[in-house]
Structure 1
């Protein structure tokens, strides 16, 4: 162990040598990982206890959550922002696992909408219904706050508030938000538990793990089906984040008493309640640091149990392949009968954790018919005289992307062109980078055309009296070169704008195209490797 030490009484937050701090913590995590791989439980528990008491680990935990805190519009349950370096050092010095958890507040987030539920003719009607519901909820909350301290009135007002809150659950999710001190505790415990379980996790578990991503899950499916068509069980665990048996999860952890007591305290304040099946939001912005790890621990053992069942029931045939990303998973095999029996086996296995499969999302198909997983459409097609695996962005993913672009453009009617560009570029680049590990080139060009139609309508609405030539010269200059990802592109129909800052500096803005993001091939991560090792 390094002798490097930080005196927080004399060293300010801005002068902390973070590379050395990270090296000290990483060395401890590596030793925990190696002890877990060799099943040396006594040594591993001693190292975990040493890690959570280590000042360097506490400093890193506070640094992690305060960085995330600065990017949130609603930073804390009590609107408390830890901004100064002295506050951060004081929090790190006082950070300890006391077995207490602050009750969480719930934030309203719109649920993902389905195509069949929202035809164009019903948009205006549903929008008015949303506005009425929100106005009723807001008025009720104001009456509740006014009558909170009036004796005999709180019960009736509270019931009325929760009545409207229940009605809104049809369209919105209520996500719990933890205070910053609890998030720092979660980051500290995650440093100790994640290294232990990374040495144990199954090879085809890819969700919310260091060194693993959705690209690995898609590549694993591609490698499994490219040689020969197979039958697919495409399933989703119903309300995985709400219904996990807390006692079964604690029994599965088998960790230090103070760690188990702290996790139990978070579970009692409904830390894992309110998400349903919205796993995709957890990757974009996680409000609970340790929550994805707990989900992976709860579902650990599914792949091993399925393999053991297959070897016992069908010892001569190939075993089914299970690929899991959080609560979404697929099972692949050449026999439809084995797929059906695997579905029944997994139903029984999930009951031990208090979980069940989503009856409306279970799908048993062959790869020729195709299926959707993590926003991708995966199927087999006949091309050039042989079967070829085709992975593309799904139709639903494309619809949601265009709907998001349309909504952003509609909300920018009164803004300048550079403000619209600033709004759209992160959406385009983020969506394109997610789906670039697929056969996406042709689809990206089609989506570019759809986006251009919306941009053109926005420009014409902004200047209804201008002619086409004048609009073309102002917003779509000719004979210009555009730089993106260290490549130069020539295009005469790129939305462009510029502005001069208060310091007299001219800044240029232009809207990138999806087709500038080329398709890539992903290299599957080695199953026996981990960045912690």
Structure 2
């Protein structure tokens, strides 16, 4: 991303010098020097400076092609299956991919993927009911299933109200600038980097639970350990997908629970590991209402 070959080689030499004490070296086959205006792909992102002078990071074209291909394969493989099978298969993929790309310029890509997913589900419905009219199909499978949004074209299940989430529903959260010259290699800043990573993790929870997690800084009321997630966030769309699956299962299985704690102002709800509450109850030290 330098403007001259000499400057680029100088930067490369400086980086090599920084990597050497850490036992790391450049992979010459994978390392190349490019102009910022040309841009480059890295870990599914495209980094490029545009004519307006802004350096923007977006999902790479290759990453978009991969997610479109996966969505297409998943939906086509479920032709003839029940609506809930589509929701179970596709929702984790959408949540995981959008969580990974939520910190970059993804709004247009999210919208285009929602449009593509709508086409896939519509064709799935046509294949499932070849003798039904298009009006019947749209009335049966599409509607305002998510009452919190003014969207009448959400794919869902009429009987239980379950629906397919959309990429665009994931809030874009801009990357937080690192404070000062803080380095991840500085052992004195371990807590700073851990707290920074935890704040960036989007949790698939209701608002009340989110507020409690924020109040408790994500930690159990009893043991003080993290309730749901690790210090290191997932590093890929697939990683986010698996993390979200595990987290939702933990909530559904009630591995975390509400605890009513008595205070001078009444009873306040707090979150704790269900195992911690069981141990506290068994020891006779319970303080729940």
Q: What CA distance in whole angstroms lies between the structure 2 residues aligned with 1:524 and 1:426?
A: 29
Report whether the alignment pairs 1:447 with 2:107: no
Q: What CA distance in whole angstroms lies between the structure 2 residues aligned with 1:510 and 1:446?
A: 19
Report whether the alignment pairs 1:365 with 2:15: no
SS of the residue aligned with 1:407?
helix
Once the two structures are superposed, what CA deviation does each residue of 1:53-93 show, in whole Å capped at 9, x if it has no partner?
Answer: xxxxxxxxxxxxxxxxxxxxxxxxxxxxxxxxxxxxxxxxx
Displacement after TM superposition at 1:451 (Å): 1.3
1:268 matched residue in structure 2: none
Q: What CA distance in whole angstroms lies between the structure 1 residues aligned with 2:24 and 2:98?
A: 37
Once the two structures are superposed, what CA deviation does each residue of 1:119-173 show, in whole Å capped at 9, x if it has no partner?
Answer: xxxxxxxxxxxxxxxxxxxxxxxxxxxxxxxxxxxxxxxxxxxxxxxxxxxxxxx
Report whether the alignment pairs 1:492 with 2:152: yes
Q: What CA distance in whole angstroms lies between the structure 2 residues aligned with 1:352 and 1:510?
A: 48
SS of the residue aligned with 2:146?
strand
Report whether the alignment pairs 1:530 with 2:190: yes
Displacement after TM superposition at 1:341 (Å): 4.6
Q: What CA distance in whole angstroms lies between the structure 1 residues aligned with 2:22 and 2:114?
A: 48
Q: What is the number of residues matched between the two proteins?
A: 185
Larger radius of gyration: 1
SS of the residue aligned with 1:363?
coil
Q: Does the CA-based 8 Å contact 2:44-2:59 persist in structure 1?
A: yes
Displacement after TM superposition at 1:524 (Å): 3.0
Task: Considering fraction of residues, name the structure with more helix.
Answer: 1
Flag structure 1 segments of 5+ consecutive residues without an equivalent: 1-229, 232-333, 500-506
Q: What CA distance in whole angstroms lies between the structure 1 residues aligned with 2:116 and 2:71?
A: 10
Q: Does the CA-based 8 Å contact 1:441-1:519 persist in structure 2?
A: yes
Q: Does the CA-based 8 Å contact 1:418-1:498 persist in structure 2?
A: no
- TM, length-normalised to structure 1: 0.32
Once the two structures are superposed, what CA deviation does each residue of 1:154-200 show, in whole Å capped at 9, x if it has no partner?
Answer: xxxxxxxxxxxxxxxxxxxxxxxxxxxxxxxxxxxxxxxxxxxxxxx
SS of the residue aligned with 1:364?
coil
2:78 matched residue in structure 1: 412
**1:455-470 alignment, distance < 5 Å:** 455-470=121-136
Q: What CA distance in whole angstroms lies between the structure 2 residues aligned with 1:463 and 1:457?
A: 10
Displacement after TM superposition at 1:443 (Å): 1.7
The verdict on how the C-alpha distance between 1:473 and 1:402 changes in structure 2, with shifts beyond 3 A counting, is: same
Displacement after TM superposition at 1:358 (Å): 4.5
Q: What CA distance in whole angstroms lies between the structure 2 residues aligned with 1:358 and 1:489?
A: 50
Displacement after TM superposition at 1:495 (Å): 0.8
Flag structure 2 segments of 5+ consecutive residues without an equivalent: 184-188, 196-289
Q: What CA distance in whole angstroms lies between the structure 2 residues aligned with 1:445 and 1:344?
A: 42
Q: What CA distance in whole angstroms lies between the structure 1 residues aligned with 2:80 and 2:16?
A: 53
CA RMSD, aligned part only? 2.8
Q: What CA distance in whole angstroms lies between the structure 1 residues aligned with 2:145 and 2:15?
A: 55
Report whether the alignment pairs 1:398 with 2:67: no
- TM, length-normalised to structure 2: 0.57
Displacement after TM superposition at 1:454 (Å): 1.3
Q: What CA distance in whole angstroms lies between the structure 2 residues aligned with 1:441 and 1:471?
A: 29
Q: What CA distance in whole angstroms lies between the structure 2 residues aligned with 1:451 and 1:352?
A: 45
Report whether the alignment pairs 1:516 with 2:169: yes
**1:194-205 alignment, distance < 5 Å:** none
Q: What CA distance in whole angstroms lies between the structure 1 residues aligned with 2:121 and 2:21?
A: 51
Displacement after TM superposition at 1:510 (Å): 0.6
The verdict on how the C-alpha distance between 1:350 and 1:515 changes in structure 2, with shifts beyond 3 A counting, is: same
Among candidates 129, 146, 164, match of residue 482 of structure 1: 146
Among candidates 97, 109, 115, match of residue 431 of structure 1: 97
Q: What CA distance in whole angstroms lies between the structure 2 residues aligned with 1:438 and 1:346?
A: 25
Once the two structures are superposed, what CA deviation does each residue of 1:321-342 show, in whole Å capped at 9, x if it has no partner?
Answer: xxxxxxxxxxxxx543132255
Once the two structures are superposed, what CA deviation does each residue of 1:421-446 show, in whole Å capped at 9, x if it has no partner?
Answer: 12111111111111111111112111
